[in-house]
Structures are given as structure tokens and as C-alpha cells.
Amino acid sequence: AQSVAQPEDQVNVAEGNPLTVKCTYSVSGNPYLFWYVQYPNRGLQFLLKYITGDNLVKGSYGFEAEFNKSQTSFHLKKPSALVSDSALYFCAVKEGSQGNLIFGKGTKLSVKP
């Protein structure tokens, strides 16, 4: 069965420092991997995806994620955090282009000035 784990409920970072939000996954076939961001009282917004190709994918707002097949991970990164990056981040996976997304429980990112 497919699954996604976000091991940290919360990540605290100082503004200007690099940030990493962790995600590991489990699928039997080739994964389609996604990161979404949610601001308070809003729906989820697409950040980036990995389907195939280069292991480092770039997305919106300066975020990027690294796909690591051997470690079954897809960690979200940003070189320099902004206070406005504070939000809830969800990792998601599915097998192939159709089918349902499986979401992690979310990681709250808090960036302090």
C-alpha cells in the first residue's frame, strides 16, 4: 500500500537560514511526488512535483525538492527562509498519472525574524 510520512510535526527556522521539511514515501511502482503549502484558512496550493527526470526539482516561491530513490525520500528545501514561508506543508504521493493522492499529516513551518 502507498504511504507518506512526514516525521516532523513542526520545523522552526530563523529567517535567512536554510530550511528542510522531510518526507519519505512508500509505493510499489514509480512514484509521482508532490509538495503543497497551506496558509491559514485556505485550501492547499501546489508547490512542485517530481514525475521523472532530474532528481532536483524547482518549484514556486524559491522552493526545491530532492528526490532520492534509494532513501525513498523527497525532502523540501529552501536556501534562505522568509517569515512569509510560515505555513503548513504537505507531501503527497501517487502511483502513475491517475489515481488518488496519499497525503502526509503535514509539517508546520515557523520562520522567526
Partner 1 sequence: DVKVTQSSRYLVKRTGEKVFLECVQDMDHENMFWYRQDPGLGLRLIYFSYDVKMKEKGDIPEGYSVSREKKERFSLILESASTNQTSMYLCASLRGEYGYTFGSGTRLTVV
Nearest CA-CA partner of 46 in 98, 90, 2, 7: 90
Residue type, 83: V
Which range in 11-19, 54-62, 74-82, 86-94 contacts partner 1 by CB under 8 A? Answer: 86-94
105 is an interface residue for partner 1 by CB under 8 A: yes
Helix (H, G, I), strand (E, B) or coil at 104: coil
The mark string for 5-34 relative to partner 1 (x by CB under 8 A, - otherwise) is: ----x----------------------x-x
Which ranges in the chain belong to alpha helices (H)? none
Which range in 21-29, 60-68, 69-77, 89-97 contacts partner 1 by CB under 8 A? Answer: 89-97
